[in-house]
Amino acid sequence: MAEDSRDEVASQVPFNDLCYLLEKISNTSGTEKKKKILSTFLTSWREAHRKLHKDSPKTTDSFYPAIRLLLPQLDKERGAYGIKEVVLAKYYIDILSIGKDSVDGRKLLNYRAPKNAKQDSVADFASVAYFVLKNRCPEKGNLKVSQVNYYLDEKWLIRIIFKELKVGLSENSVFSAFHPDAVELHSVCNSLSKVCIDLHDPEIRMNEAQMSLFSPFRPMLAERVAIDEKQKSMGKECNFIKRKMRSCTFQEVLMTTHISLHSCILDGEMIVVDPKSDVWLSKGMNVDVKSLSTYENASYHPCFIVFDILVINDKKLANVPLHERIRTIEKLLKPKPGYLQFVERQDASTSGMISHFMCALAVSSSIPGQHPSVFHSFCKVGTGYTTNELHELDQLLHPHWRPFDTKRPPETVILAPGYKEKPDVWIEPTKSKIVQVKAAEIIASDKFKTGVTLRFPRVEAIRKEKMWYECLSLTELEKLKSMAEGKLTYQHTNSEHSHEPARKRRKGVTRNERVTSVAEHFKPADLSSVEQVSQLFEGKEFCIVTGPASHPKAKLEKKVAENGGSFTQNPSAETYCVIAERINVRVKNIISQKKFDVVQASWLIQCLEKRQLSPWQPSDMLYSSPATADKFAEEYDRYGDSFTQDATVESLEEVFKNVQSQNSAVSLSRGEIQDVMEHYFPDNSPLGLFKHCRRGTLTRTKKITLLVICCRGILNSSLELVGLKLRLYGAQITDTLDDGVTHIVLDESDLRRYEELQRAYVALPKRHFVTQHWVAQSVQASKLLTERNFRPV
């Protein structure tokens, strides 16, 4: 390493001070407070700069060494490191001799789901590594800022390597704290070092940002989506600048010899042309435009389409109106027919939310009527929705996201081999939502399992009314591909008039004014053709929010009107009740008012079918107002069982479900269960034949316990089946011969213990010795037969 330069501020600032600054900014809430902390650091840097260079005012030393660490994602002079999380984790494990199977080793390798980690550390490798390394590294490093820039404290060094600081300060916030004109100058020159040198003194303002030949600048884009076209600066001496401000060169220089000017800067798009078929290649063809040749026998040719001109013969045109710059281009270049498609500008705050989604198509099941169980990845979308729509979608999907693991990929969602496009998280298709996507065309792609994808996809609508299995299938995709060669726009390139020049005519600007109207789910039903057929709902006003698929909202409103009732779109004091199929956002808002009864739509449908206004039951309610709840408390118990109405099979099933759902079931002993049966079903229970046969004390003379003497020497003895039958009919079985036993059942094929047991219990005459036939014939006769006829012989 070369000797550190002692005449730079960066060589005297410990890297630990920069880490402390980043930690303090990260732990502070509010952009203005964060900027104030950064401004304090900038002031101290400038103060040190003045003291160090008071004798050399023309020094090139600047804030550049620090700002390239504060904004590593904008540092174009330093290439990519080629290191991601897993590779760096392996380096740490190897250098620090950490076992791969140890707790710390697993934390580093599986950083996306660390155990016993704080919530803000999940999926942040730098935070996980900090807790692993803090006991293995010195508390305070001795590196200087200049040394860190050459080598490029743990967490912040790792985040600088990954070019993701995550301190809550945007690029513009850092630039505005450095200098009021820093944002504008960087957008023109795209060079951190130039910004730091030219705007070193915050008191000196920049008059105008100047563009120069062969210096990258960031053009104003009509579309904010980062696609793969390349923005170019082009001339007789060619220097091509990509959109991300990286320079690229062709294998041979493209000479433009017929333009009568000595210098210019053009803004446009580099595309690839197939000279044989005279078509433009789509972006999914994976053709490297930099390696193409311009020879006549080359298979593909590069073609540059000009959008704008910024400099001509050293004259700056950046501040010239666009229409004048267009006229300048028309004088210099012959235009090629084509079109430019715009999308609506979307300003959304998506911090902390998932804003880009991978979409998949269903693989149709081979069994008719069965829902699909496998889905193939198809495309990615990240634009088209509003902020509110994205927030609502995030609330629906957030509880169901699962981290994506390439070692254990999901079985229901299949990605392309090699995971060229893989998500950070995934969701079960049954929990997902369907989106309506608009695109220009279907193009080939090996990044998705379907083998094709969409060009310029954007979300048009989130289809909440559709079920998860109603998405586009692979079969339907093939039909779309076969139509117009995959073009999805209304005017296809193979139409019969596509090669005819369009007639030029002046058109007035037409504005499609959006007609203000009520949303569909708030509109009342059309009653122009409805005739009243009954007075079932006479004098009652309903507010119908939703209905089932068989009876949608409009249909229920018409039925209410046909039967003499009325309806409203917003409940009031005159509203009888609110009807809803399920609890959604609007129903929650109504419930929060605690004024209205919210009844299930099934109750209204039953009233229509029975042609009778049935009283509400607790099982019909989604929410009961305080008055209705008090009435239910007088007529029903807490499980919904009526005090006055006879129970039915259906009502008892509903009551038992409520008991189960409320975890109110009481654990009863067998004796307590028999007491209940004796009290409510003393004689007529068909399965209570042996219900008095139970273990009890001698004072319970009517309650007896049976001792079944199984024949252990005989395999599959019939007494095993007899014991099961006795239990089925309410008896209690014991294998202990004590005072509570009143019946002893023996197998007549094995009476070896009969005499022994008879002598042992001769003093207890109430014990009956019977064979298994007493059990079988008593069950057949549905009563207890006399024991003396079944004594063992």
The H or E element that residue 705 is part of is strand 705-709
E-state strands within 545-636: 566-567, 575-580, 598-600, 621-623
Q: Are strands 575-580 and 458-463 parallel, antiparallel or unpaired?
A: unpaired
> Is the per-residue pLDDT at 136 higher than 60?
yes
Mean pLDDT, range 736-761, rounded to an integer: 75
Which two three-digit tokens encode residue 145? 């800022």
Output the pLDDT for position 237.
54
Please spell the DSSP secondary structure of 133-150, one letter per residue: HTTTS-SS---BHHHHHH
Q: Token pair 């309806």 is at which residue?
A: 567
> Is the per-residue pLDDT at 4 higher than 60?
no
Q: pLDDT-derived band of residue 322, with 50, 70 and 90 as boundaries? A: confident
Quote the Cα angle for 329-331-337, to 5°: 65
* Cβ burial 26-40 (10 Å sphere, 16+ → b, else e): bebeeeeebbebbee
pLDDT digits (tens, 9 = 90+) for 68-93: 888 887 777 777 767 778 888 888 88
pLDDT digits (tens, 9 = 90+) for 178-189: 888 888 777 767
Q: Which region, left, alpha or beta, applies to residue 673 given φ > 0 means left and ψ of -120 to 50 means alpha?
A: alpha
> Is the per-residue pLDDT at 143 higher than 70?
no
Mean pLDDT, range 190-196, rounded to an integer: 79
Give the closest residue to 545 by CA, choosing from 517, 561, 576, 524: 524
Output the pLDDT for position 767.
74
Please spell the DSSP secondary structure of 622-637, one letter per residue: EE--HHHHHHHHHHB-
User: Which residues pair with residue 708 across a beta bridge?
Assistant: 745
Q: Are strands 705-709 and 733-734 parallel, antiparallel or unpaired?
A: parallel
User: Which residues touch 607 (CB under 8 Å, ≥6 apart)?
Assistant: 536, 613, 614
Edge-first strand listing for the sheet containing 575-580? 566-567, 541-544, 575-580, 598-600, 621-623
Chain-centroid distance, C-alpha 132: 30
Q: Which of 33, 36, 118, 244 is catalytic?
A: 244
pLDDT digits (tens, 9 = 90+) for 483-513: 766 676 655 444 444 444 445 455 454 555 5
CB 563 within 8 A of CB 555: no
> Is the per-residue pLDDT at 299 higher than 50?
yes
The CA–CA distances, whole Å, from 398 to 373, 376, 390, 391, 401 equal 22, 22, 11, 10, 6
Catalytic residue check, 244: yes
> Is the per-residue pLDDT at 604 higher than 70?
yes
Q: pTM of the predicted model, to two decimals?
A: 0.32
| Mean pLDDT, rounded, of the chain | 75
Which two three-digit tokens encode residue 726? 């006795």
Output the pLDDT for position 133.
72
CA 427/CA 401 separation, integer angstroms: 5
Output the pLDDT for position 697.
27
CB 141 within 8 A of CB 16: yes
CA 727/CA 712 separation, integer angstroms: 20
> Is the per-residue pLDDT at 684 higher than 70?
no
